[in-house]
Structure 1
Amino acid sequence: MKNLFDLTGKVALITGASSGMGKAIAEIIGLHGATVIISSNDEKECIATQTAFQNKGIKAFAIPCDVSKKEEIDALVFQGEEKAGTIAILINCVGIAIPGSFLDIDSENFEKTMQINLENAIYLTQKVIPNMQVQKDGVIIYLASLSSVRGNKNLGLYGISKAGLAQLARNLAVEFGPDNIRVNAISPGVIDTEFAKPLTQNPEVMEKRILLTPLRRIGKVEEVAGMALLLASKAGGFISGQNIIIDGGTTISDGN
C-alpha cells in the first residue's frame, strides 16, 4: 500500500511544464520518482525549471517545444526518449483562451485555438502511444477545463476545444485500454495561476464566483497536481476514460 504513488523508473513528458499547473504537475510527478521531461515554448523558463527541479533531487530534462509546429513535436519525442527513455506518462497542459462572443469567432481564432488546445494533443499522443503499446504500459492525462462541461458566453471556443480533449480521453481509453493504457482528463475550475489572472484580478467577477463555490475560495495548483499524481500512479490504476472536475463544488452548487 505504501508504494501506491511511487513512480520510480517511469519517464513522464509534461507539456506546458514551465509555469502554472503544468509546472506543479511536473514537480509532483518528479518528487514521486519519475524522470520528467519539461517542455513549453519558453526556452528560458524550461531551463530554469529544470535547474530548480534538479536542486530538489528530481531527475529532469528541459526540451523546449512550440506545439504549433509538428516538426518540433517530433523532435520533442525523439530527444526526450533519447535522453530519458521510453515515455510511460504523457501529460498535456498546453492551452490558450481567446475571449469573445460566438459571433466573434473567425477562422484565424478557431484554427489557432484548435491547433494549440486539441490538434497538438492528438498529434503528440499519436507519437507516444506505439511505444506504450509495446511496453503494455501507459498513462495519458489531458488538462481540460471546467469550460468543457458547462456553457460560457465569453470563452465558448475555448470550452469547445477543451471538451474535445475530454472526448479524446474517452475515445483513447476505449481503444487502447486492452494495451494497459489509461487515459483521463482533468477539468479545473478557477485556479490561482497567471493564466487565470483576468478572472482572479477582477473583484466583481471573483465575488460572484466565490459565492457560487461551496468551498468559498479558488483552487491551488498543488490540488490539481495531486489529482494528476493519482491518475499517473498505481493508486489510480482502475480509473480510465474520465473527465475529473476540480472546482471546489462550483458545478454542483445551487448558489446558496
Structure 2
Amino acid sequence: MKDLFDLSGKVALIMGSSSGMGKAIAHILGLNGAKVIISSNDKTACEKVLAEFQAENINAIAIPCDVSQKEQIDFLVSETEKTFGNIDILVNCVGIAIAGSFLEIDAESFEKTMQINLQSAIYLTKKVIPKMQAKKDGAIIYLSSLSSVRGNKFLGLYGISKAGLAQLARNLAVEFGPDNIRVNAISPGVIDTEFAKPMTTNPEVMAKRVALTPLRRIGKVEEVAGVTLLLASKAGGFITGQNIIIDGGTTISDGN
C-alpha cells in the first residue's frame, strides 16, 4: 500500500507545465519520484520552473515547445528519450480559449483552436504510444474542461475542442487497454489560474458561479494535481476511459 503513489523511475512529460495547473501537476509528479519534463511555448517560464524544481531536488529538465509546430513536438520527444528514456506518463495541459458566439466562429479561430487544443494532442500521443505499447505500460491524461460536458454560449468552440479530448481518451482507452495503457481526461471547473482570470476577476460573474457551486468556492491547482497523481500512479491502476470532473459540484447543483 505504501507505494501506491510512488512514481520512482517513471518519466513524465507534462505539456503546458510552466504555469497554472500544468506546473502544479509537474510539481506533484516530481515530488513523488517521477523524472519530469517541463514544457510550454514560454522558454523563460520553463527555465524559471526548472530552477524552482531543482531547488527541491526534483529530477527535471525543461524543453520549450510550440505545439502548433510538429517539428518542435518531434524534437521534444526525441530530446526527452535521449535524456530520460521512454515516456511513461504523458499529461497534456495545453489549451487556448477564443470567446465568441456560434455565428462569430471563423475559419482562423476554428483552425487555431483545434490545432492547439486537439490536433497537437493527437500528434504527440501518436509519437509516444508505440513505446508504451512495447513495454506494456503507460498512463496518458488529457486536461479537458467543464465546458466539454455543458452547453456554452461564448466558449462553444473551446468546449467542442475539449470534448474532443475527452472522447479521445475513451477511444484510446478501448484500443490500447490490452497493452496496459490507461487513458483518462480531467475536466476542471473554475480553478484559480491566470487562464481563468477573465472570470475570477469579475465579481458579478463569480458571485453567480459560486452560488451555483455546492462547495461555494473555486478550485485550487493542487486539487487538480492530486487527481492527476492518482491517475498516473498505481493508485489509479484500474481507472481508464474516464472524464473526471473537478468542479466543486457545479454540474450537480440544483440551481437554488
User: What is the TM-score with the length of structure 2 in the denominator?
Assistant: 1.00
Could you tell me which residue of structure 2 aligns to residue 99 of structure 1? 99
Which residue is equivalent to 2:200? Answer: 200
Q: How big is the alpha-carbon RMSD for the aligned residues of Structure 1 and Structure 2?
A: 0.4
Give 1:40-51 correspondences, 5 Å limit: 40-51=40-51
Report the equivalent of 1:13.
13
For residues 23 and 144 of structure 1, what CA distance do their matches in structure 2 show? 16
Q: Distance in 2 between matches of 1:83 and 1:37?
A: 10
Match of 1:160 in 2: 160
Give the Å deviation of 1:84: 1.1
Gaps of 5+ in 2: none
Aligned residue number for residue 171 of structure 1: 171
Q: Matches of 1:185 and 1:56 in 2, distance apart?
A: 28
Superposed displacement of residue 139, structure 1: 0.3
Letter in 2 for 1:118: L
Q: Report the secondary structure of 1:244's partner residue.
A: strand
Q: Which residue of 2 aligns with 1:244?
A: 244
Deviation at 1:36, TM superposition (A): 0.3
Instruction: Determine whether 1:187 maps to 2:197.
Output: no
Distance 1:234 1:187 in 2: 21
CA distance in 2, matches of 1:80, 1:61: 9
Query: 1:165 is aligned with what amino acid?
Result: L
Cα deviation digits, residues 109-154 of structure 1 (max 9, x gap): 0000000000000000000001001111100000000000000100
Alignment map for 1:1-256 (pairs within 5 Å): 1-256=1-256
Distance of 1:20 and 1:255 partners within structure 2: 29
Distance 1:171 1:18 in 2: 29
- One-letter identity of the residue aligned with 1:238: F
Runs of 4+ more than 6 Å apart: none
Residues 18-41 of structure 1 show CA distances to partners (whole Å, capped at 9, x for unaligned) of 000000000000000000001000
**How far off its partner does 1:87 sit?**
0.3
Report the alpha carbon displacement of residue 157 of structure 1 after superposing the two structures with TM.
0.1
Q: Report the AA paired with residue 97 of structure 1.
A: A
Partner Cα separation in structure 2 for residue 161 and residue 209 of structure 1: 23
SS of the residue 1:47 aligns to:
helix
Q: State how far apart, in whole Å, the 2-side matches of 1:119 and 1:219 are.
A: 28
Letter of the 1:123 counterpart: Y
The whole-number CA distance in structure 2 between the counterparts of 1:47 and 1:134 is: 32
Query: Does the residue aligned with 2:248 lie in a helix, a strand or coil?
Result: coil
Percent of aligned positions with the same letter in both sequences?
A: 79
Say which SS state the counterpart of residue 91 (structure 1) adopts.
Answer: strand
Letter in 2 for 1:187: S
User: For 2:155 and 2:84, how far apart are their aligned partners in 1?
Assistant: 37
Q: What CA distance in whole angstroms lies between the structure 1 residues aligned with 2:87 and 2:74?
A: 13
SS at match of 2:244: strand
Q: Which secondary structure state, in structure 2, belongs to the residue aligned with residue 151 of structure 1? A: coil
Distance 2:222 2:160 in 1: 26
> What is the number of residues matched between the two proteins?
256
Kindly provide the CA deviation profile for residues 215-252 of structure 1, in whole angstroms up to 9, marking residues without a partner as x: 00000000000000000000000000000000000000
Give, as a single letter, the amino acid of the residue that structure 2 aligns with 1:49.
V
SS at match of 1:184: strand
Residues in 1 aligned to 2:25 and 2:11: alpha-carbon distance in whole angstroms? 14
Distance 1:46 1:85 in 2: 20
Give me the whole-angstrom Cα distance separating, in 2, the residues matched to 1:54 and 1:130. Answer: 30
